[in-house]
Amino acid sequence: MKTLRLKPGKEKSLLRRHPWVFESAIARGGADSGETVRVESHDGEFLAWAAFSPTSQIRARAWSFVEPQRIDAAFLAALCTRAVDARRYFDLQSDGIRLVHGEADGLPGLIVDRYGDTLVAQFGAAGVERWKDVLADALLAATGLTQLYERSDASGREREGLKPVTGWLRGDGPTEIAIREHDWQLTLDIATGHKTGFYLDQRDSRKRFAEIAQHRRFRRLLNCFCYTGGFTVAALAGLKAAGALEGATLTSIDSSLLALERAKAHVALNGFESVACDFLDADVNASLRRFIEEGRTFDAIVLDPPKFAPTAAHAERAARAYKDINRLALKLLEPGGVLFTFSCSGGIGADLFHKIVAGAGLDAGVDGYISERLGAAPDHPMTIEFPEGEYLKGLVVVRK
Ligand code: SAH
C-alpha cells in the first residue's frame, strides 16, 4: 500500500473529516492517478484512505477515515446505494434528481443526475475515474436502470490530468429527454446541455418564484441568465394559478441561443404561448444598462449568473462582477418589487454574498428587505465537514 506522509500540523483538516489533502500539506509519497493511498500524519498515525490525484492542487481526496476499511468495489457500491436510498426520503416533485453529489455522498468528484430512466454521470476526479466501471455498474444496480450517459467534460477534469469524455457508458437511447418539475413539463439534451443537461439545484427556488409570482401577481418580469427558461415557466405557472396571466410581460435573457430556443419551446409546451414573452440572445450586463437608459422597470427580476468564482482565488474579481449586476438590477426594480439573486460560486461564501448585495444596494441608492435566503435543493446536500459544499446561495430582496 502506498502512503502519503503529511507535514507536521497538516493533519488537522483530515481529523475534522474534511476530505481534501492539498499538495502543500504533503511531505512525501505518491501513487498513480486515482490509486488508493494511506494518508498519515508526520509521525505515521493513520488519517484516511484517499484517492491520489498526481496533477491537482487537491492532491488526494478521502474515501474513508476508518483504518480497517478496504476501498474496493463493495465499499463503493455501498456508497452508491446509500446515496440513492437517501433521496427516497425527499419529496422532490420531479423526475429529475441528483443522486450523487460528490463529496457530500462520500464519492469525491462524482456527480450523478437521474432524468427519467436515464442516469448522467460526471467523473470529475482521478479516484472516481479509476473506479468508473465499478461505479457505473453499482449505480445501475442501485437504481434498477440500464442507461448511463457520461458527461465528463467539466473544466475541473483538466486539473486532474484527465481528458474530456462524453457518450453512453452503459446502454444507449435518445439524449433528448422530457422531465416533469413540479407541475411543469421541461426538456433537456444530456449530450449538449450545460452540466448534465439541466440545473436541478434551482428546483426549489423556481418553485418559490412561482409561489411569489402567484401571490404578488407580477406584471413585468425579467429573468436574467435564463438558460432553458426554468424561472420563466415557473413565473407563468404562478401567474396562471392566480388568474393573472393577462397583461403580464416576461423578458428572458441568455447568451446561449440553443438554451433560449429551448426556453421558448418550454413556454409553448406548458401552454403559455399567448403570453407576451421576449427572449433576448444578449449579454445580461449590457442589457441591464440598456434597460436603465430606456427607463424600463420591472416588478420581479431573477439574477442567476454562471459561476464567476470557481475557486476562492477568483473571489475578488467575481465579487465586483456580482456587485455590478446586482446594482443594475436593483436600479431596475420598482418599489415593492422582488429580486431573486444568486451566486453559485464556491469561492463566495454566504456572508460575502450578502455584503456584495448590500454594497450593490448602496451604490444603486436602493434599500431593500431580505425576505428569504435560498439554497440548493435537498438532493444537493451539504455535509457538516465540507463547507465548500455550500456553493449555491440566493437572497430574495424586496425593494423598500
Ligand atoms: N436560471 C437557470 C440557470 C442559469 S445558468 C435555470 O434555472 O435553469 C447560467 C446561464 O447564464 C447559462 O445559461 C449561460 O448560457 C448564461 N450566461 C453566461 N454568461 C452570460 C452573459 N454574460 N449574459 C447572458 N447570459 C449568460
136: domain CATH number is 3.30.750.80
The pLDDT of residue 227 is 98
Answer yes or no: is 149 within a domain: yes
Question: Is 277 in the same domain as 383?
Answer: yes
- With a pLDDT cut of 70, the percent of the chain lying above it is 100
Question: Is 240 in the same domain as 378?
Answer: yes
pLDDT at 155 over 90: no
pLDDT digits (tens, 9 = 90+) for 39-74: 999 999 999 999 999 999 999 999 999 999 999 999
pLDDT at 193 over 80: yes
Question: Is 103 in the same domain as 34?
Answer: no
Q: Position of cell 443537461?
A: 197
Answer yes or no: is 193 within a domain: no
Q: Position of cell 454562471?
A: 306
Question: Is 237 in the same domain as 94?
Answer: no
Question: Is 350 in the same domain as 249?
Answer: yes
> Nearest-CA neighbor of 172 among 117, 123, 132, 133?
117
7: domain CATH number is 2.30.130.10
Question: Is 321 in the same domain as 175?
Answer: no
Question: Using an 8 Å Cβ cutoff, are 190 and 120 in contact?
Answer: yes
Answer yes or no: is 175 within a domain: yes
Rounded distance between C-alpha atoms, residue 335 and residue 55, angstroms? 51
The pLDDT of residue 387 is 79
The pLDDT of residue 310 is 73
Mean pLDDT of 184-190: 98
Q: What would the grid cell of residue 307 be?
A: 459561476
Instruction: Please tell me the residue having the least CA distance from ligand 1 atom 23.
Output: 283
Q: What would the grid cell of residue 237 be?
A: 405557472
pLDDT digits (tens, 9 = 90+) for 123-148: 999 999 999 999 999 999 999 999 99
Question: Is 100 in the same domain as 6?
Answer: no
Q: How confident is the model at residue 390 (pLDDT cuts 50, 70, 90)?
A: confident
Mean pLDDT of 188-193: 98
pTM above 0.85, yes or no: yes
Q: Which residue has the higher pLDDT, 156 or 331?
A: 331
The pLDDT of residue 130 is 98
Number of domains in the chain: 3
Answer yes or no: is 186 within a domain: no
> CB 145: neighbour CB atoms within 10 A?
16
Mean pLDDT of 248-272: 98
- Return all residues near 239 (Cβ < 8 A) that are at least 6 apart: 213, 214, 217, 218, 245, 248
Q: What would the grid cell of residue 10 be?
A: 497538516
Rounded distance between C-alpha atoms, residue 30 and residue 368, angstroms? 53
| 234 CA distance to ligand 1 middle (Å) | 16
Question: Is 42 in the same domain as 81?
Answer: no
Counts of helices then strands in the chain (DSSP H, E): 11, 20
pLDDT at 312 over 80: no
Strands, DSSP E only, in the chain?
Answer: 2-6, 20-22, 26-29, 36-40, 46-52, 58-64, 96-101, 110-115, 118-123, 147-152, 165-170, 176-181, 184-189, 220-224, 249-254, 276-281, 298-303, 333-343, 368-375, 393-399
The pLDDT mean for the chain works out to 96
SS3 88: helix
Q: Which of 124, 146, 181 is the last residue of a domain?
A: 181
Answer yes or no: is 188 within a domain: no
Question: Is 164 in the same domain as 232?
Answer: no
The pLDDT of residue 86 is 95
| 191 CA distance to ligand 1 middle (Å) | 18
Answer yes or no: is 106 within a domain: yes
pLDDT at 252 over 80: yes
The pLDDT of residue 383 is 87
| 180 CA distance to ligand 1 middle (Å) | 21
| 179 CA distance to ligand 1 middle (Å) | 20
Instruction: Please tell me the residue having the least CA distance from ligand 1 atom 12.
Output: 227
The pLDDT of residue 111 is 98
Q: Strands 249-254 and 220-224, how do they pair?
A: parallel
Answer yes or no: is 376 within a domain: yes
Mean pLDDT of 331-352: 95
pLDDT digits (tens, 9 = 90+) for 16-41: 999 999 999 999 999 999 999 999 99
pLDDT at 264 over 90: yes
Which of 192, 224, 227 to mutate to test ligand 1, by most ligand atoms within 8 A of the CB atom?
A: 227
Rounded distance between C-alpha atoms, residue 132 and residue 76, angstroms? 10
Rounded distance between C-alpha atoms, residue 395 and residue 368, angstroms? 11
Instruction: Please tell me the residue having the least CA distance from ligand 1 atom 16.
Output: 225
Question: Is 237 in the same domain as 370?
Answer: yes
Active site residues: 344
The pLDDT of residue 56 is 96
Show the ligand 1 pocket: residues with CB < 6 angstroms: 194, 199, 202, 225-228, 230-231, 253-256, 259, 283-284, 304, 306
Q: Which of 146, 181, 216 is the last residue of a domain?
A: 181
Mean pLDDT of 221-229: 98
376: domain CATH number is 3.40.50.150
- Structural domain boundaries enclosing 161: 73-181
Answer yes or no: is 190 within a domain: no
pLDDT at 389 over 90: no
Question: Is 40 in the same domain as 162?
Answer: no
Q: Which of 36, 64, 92 is the last residue of a domain?
A: 64
Which of 254, 266, 341 to mutate to test ligand 1, by most ligand atoms within 8 A of the CB atom?
A: 254
Treating both helix axes as pointing N-terminal to C-terminal, what angle do 315-332 and 284-294 enclose, rounded to 10 degrees?
30
Question: Is 77 in the same domain as 55?
Answer: no
